[in-house]
């Protein structure tokens, strides 16, 4: 069926609003045709993943949009780049890569996007409302905005996300449509011990299990406490998007589209999968690849980027102690600014914490080149760490990470997994 365009959309396609908008609309229209969409949908916000330098073609694309007068049409945030622009000396790379990465990041700022440079824009004030149509890139951000905020996006990658931001349009298909947001499988977490469900360390493991179990299907999860936090849901979605392709999940009684099970199933008789002790143990084991658990060479947390609440937990766990093993925390520059205003950034740095902004240790070379064992509390870091950094990984809680760094050897509380 032919794509139905409005007159303003045809004007953009024809070049009425400049070369960049015309190019962006051609790409959006071609994508919509490919997907079989019958029309486009107006979006109210965008999050662009395409500012991360993977090669010089990304720079050329962004700078061509700038030369063509490209400007974002909706409030737009930027995902991590390949540089910490606030502390560029922390990145181990060539002068050419540094220059190209900076140019790519700056090009999107020139287009009017906000220089957030974070994979968690929802932590720095970019929170579209329930039911609003958006065009977001970055897998954890997609899962969060769909699931926790209840806005509607499909999976927009480089560089379609930028085209949607410039045109203010996206193909009307998939998760933009209410009928495609209903649950396809029920996940029952009722058997998980209540104390385990209260712990942050559980949620990346549950997300790992979920991604492996459901792939890209939409799960309605029952049996989680109403006290589940945003950071726990963030960790769940990030891990599920990494091991599967989860872009939307519902937690019954918690997330906005799931006040009841019937609300997200329509009363349909769906397959039901129970979260079991064996399944959780297998997923936990998958998050550690190191041959032994007696060596730790570096610790990295903050994927997705650390929130202020997570920094509060880190400060409490640290107390007045100093770290002996390099400890990297990745966060948004906006969050870092809040820490600096509170005086907590200086306290963390004195303790030995290396705060990374604008990027993270898995997408650009920051860790020492010698390799070794990286400990993390992030399901996403654990999933991508070995291939992207050359380090094997050990998974543990934030408390495990702090204690291991303070004592200079691996310390993990295995009792939490007694089930």
Q: Which residues contact 31 (CB under 8 A, 6 or more apart)?
A: 160, 171
3-class SS at 249? strand
Q: Which residues have CB under 8 Å from 75's CB, separation 6+?
A: 44, 45, 46, 114, 126
pLDDT per residue rounded down to tens, the chain (419 residues): 689 999 999 999 999 999 999 999 999 999 999 999 999 999 999 999 999 999 999 999 999 999 999 999 999 999 999 999 999 999 999 999 999 999 999 999 999 999 999 999 999 999 999 999 999 999 999 999 999 999 999 999 899 999 999 999 999 999 999 999 999 999 999 999 999 999 999 999 999 999 999 999 999 999 999 999 999 999 999 999 999 999 999 999 999 999 999 999 988 999 999 999 999 999 999 999 998 888 999 999 999 999 999 999 999 999 999 999 999 999 999 999 999 999 999 999 999 999 999 999 999 999 998 889 999 999 999 999 999 999 999 999 999 999 999 999 999 999 999 98
Judged by DSSP in three states, 95 sits in: helix
Distance CA(329)–CA(356), nearest Å, equals: 6
- How far is it, in rounded angstroms, from Cα 364 to Cα 358? 11
Report the helix count and the strand count for the chain, using DSSP H and E: 16, 14
**Domain 298-417 coded CATH 3.40.1830.10:** no
CA angle 42, 47, 50 (to 5 degrees): 115
Taking the CB of residue 266, how many other CB atoms lie within 10 A of it?
Answer: 10
pTM tops 0.85, yes or no: yes
Closest CA to 260 of 144, 182, 190, 206: 182
380 near 120, Cβ under 8 Å?
no
DSSP 213-274: HHTTPPEEEES--TT--HHHHHHHHHHHHHHS----EEETTTSTT-SSHHHHHTT----EEE
Q: Is the peptide bond before 304 cis (omega within 30 degrees of 0)?
A: yes
User: If DSSP codes are grouped into helix, strand and coil, which group holds residue 25?
Assistant: helix
CB 58 within 8 Å of CB 50: yes
The phi, psi pair for 251, rounded to 5°, reads -110, 110
Coil, helix or strand for 416? helix
Which CATH number applies to 7-177: 3.40.50.1100, 3.30.499.10, 3.40.50.970, 3.40.640.10? 3.30.499.10
C-alpha separations of 7 from 13, 38, 70, 164, 181 in Å? 10, 15, 20, 17, 29
Query: Pairing mode, if any, of strands 185-188 and 272-274?
Result: parallel
Q: Can you read off the two tokens belonging to residue 92?
A: 């181990």
The CATH 3.30.499.10 domain(s) of the chain lie at: 7-177, 298-417
Query: Cβ distance 34 to 173 under 8 Å?
Result: no
């Amino acid at each position: 069926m032919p794509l139905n365009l409005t007159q303003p959309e045809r004007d953009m396609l024809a070049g009425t609003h400049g070369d960049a908008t015309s190019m962006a609309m051609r790409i959006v229209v071609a994508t919509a045709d490919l997907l079989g969409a019958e029309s486009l949908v107006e979006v109210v916000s965008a999050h662009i993943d395409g500012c991360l330098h993977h090669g010089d073609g990304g720079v050329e694309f962004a700078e061509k949009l700038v030369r063509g007068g490209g400007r974002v049409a909706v409030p737009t945030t930027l995902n991590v780049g390949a540089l910490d622009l606030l502390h560029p000396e922390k990145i181990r790379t060539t002068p050419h890569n540094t220059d190209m990465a900076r140019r790519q990041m700056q090009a999107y700022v020139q287009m009017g996007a906000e220089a957030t440079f974070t994979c968690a824009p929802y932590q720095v004030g970019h929170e579209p409302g329930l039911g609003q149509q958006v065009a977001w890139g970055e897998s954890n951000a997609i899962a969060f905005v769909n699931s926790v905020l209840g806005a509607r996006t499909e999976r927009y990658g480089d560089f379609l996300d930028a085209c949607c931001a410039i045109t203010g349009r996206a193909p009307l298909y998939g998760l933009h449509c209410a009928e495609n947001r209903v649950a396809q499988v029920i996940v029952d977490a009722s058997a998980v011990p209540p104390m385990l469900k209260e712990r942050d360390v559980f949620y990346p493991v549950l997300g790992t299990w979920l991604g492996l179990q459901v792939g890209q299907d939409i799960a309605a999860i029952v049996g989680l406490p109403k006290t589940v936090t945003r950071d726990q849901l963030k960790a769940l979605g990030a891990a599920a998007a990494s091991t599967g392709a989860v872009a939307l999940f519902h937690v019954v009684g918690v997330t906005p589209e799931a006040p009841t099970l019937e609300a997200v199933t329509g009363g349909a008789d769906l397959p039901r999968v129970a979260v079991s002790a064996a399944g959780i143990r297998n997923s936990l084991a998958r998050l550690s690849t190191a041959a032994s658990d007696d060596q730790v060479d570096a610790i990295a947390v903050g994927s997705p980027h650390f929130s202020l609440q997570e920094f509060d937990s880190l400060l409490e766990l640290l107390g007045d102690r100093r770290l002996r093993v390099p400890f990297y925390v990745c966060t948004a520059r906006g969050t870092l600014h809040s820490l600096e205003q509170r005086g907590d950034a200086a306290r963390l740095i004195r303790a030995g914490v290396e705060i990374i902004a604008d990027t993270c240790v898995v997408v650009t070379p920051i860790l020492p080149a010698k390799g070794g064992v990286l400990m993390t509390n992030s399901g996403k870091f654990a999933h991508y760490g070995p291939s992207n950094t050359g380090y094997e990984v050990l998974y543990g809680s934030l408390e495990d990470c702090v204690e291991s760094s303070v004592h200079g050897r691996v310390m993990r509380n295995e009792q939490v997994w007694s089930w």
